[in-house]
Amino acid sequence: MSEVFAKFREMLGSRQRATLAYRPQANGQQERSVQTVIRAVRAYVAEPDQSDWDDQVEKLMWALNTSFDATRLDTPFYLVHGWDPQSTVSVMLGPRPAGVDQRTAYEWHRGVQRQYEYAQAWAKDLQAQAKAKRSEAQTKIWQELSERLKKGFAVGDAIWLYLASPASTDKEIRTSVARTFQDLRDVG
């Protein structure tokens, strides 16, 4: 694999410089990047002991990688990969129309924000549809059970009987016992 990177480096006309693993100060740009990440994690972590940093790091890395650099006039992600980053929302919504040209960071930001708002509205609509379907299904089941109760029970029907254990307290788990009664006249 190192031969592949060596050839790629030759194609780009760049040279490799090794830095020591135990001396991060030798790589100034990486050290600056690490400092930025550490500061951001400290600022956004909710727990006082900062034990929930791993919940925030993915969002922070996305924010850092997509932040516009005024010196280089692009995002760090674009400089490393050669294409603009795509969020889950933008991938889900598909490619942008050919007539739309997003040239500035502000336009890109507004596009991502619009896609996010669209996805939120879409998710809200899907949730409302699912809630309506659930409600409809529950209403139907409730009506069927109500009709069943109006008709009453027949001899031989299986029913659930709740028996509270006399020795149990409120804190203990009470048991439900299923019993089939052959003759409902035996149930008082």
Same domain, 86 and 148: yes
> What secondary structure, in 3-state letters, does 100-116 show?
CCCCCHHHHHHHHHHHH
Query: At 140, is the pLDDT very low, low, confident or very high (cuts 50, 70, 90)?
Result: very high
Same domain, 92 and 115: yes
Residues in the chain: 188
pLDDT beyond 80 at 95: no
The pLDDT of 86-98, averaged and rounded, is 69
Tell me if 112 is assigned to some domain. Answer: yes
Could you list the residue range(s) of the whole structural domain that residue 105 is in?
Answer: 82-152
Tell me if 181 is assigned to some domain. Answer: yes
The pLDDT of 61-81, averaged and rounded, is 78
The pLDDT of 50-64, averaged and rounded, is 73
- Tell me the three state secondary structure of residue 178: strand
Tell me if 98 is assigned to some domain. Answer: yes
Q: What pTM does this model have?
A: 0.33
The answer to whether 37 and 62 have CB atoms below 8 angstroms apart is: no
The pLDDT of 171-181, averaged and rounded, is 45
Same domain, 33 and 44: yes
pLDDT beyond 80 at 135: yes
For residue 181, count other CB atoms closer than 10 A to its CB.
15
Tell me if 71 is assigned to some domain. Answer: no
- Chain-centroid distance of CA 157 in Å reads 46
Same domain, 7 and 35: yes
Tell me if 70 is assigned to some domain. Answer: no
Q: What is the spatial distance between Cα 103 and Cα 82, in angstroms, rounded to a whole number? A: 15
pLDDT of residue 174: 46
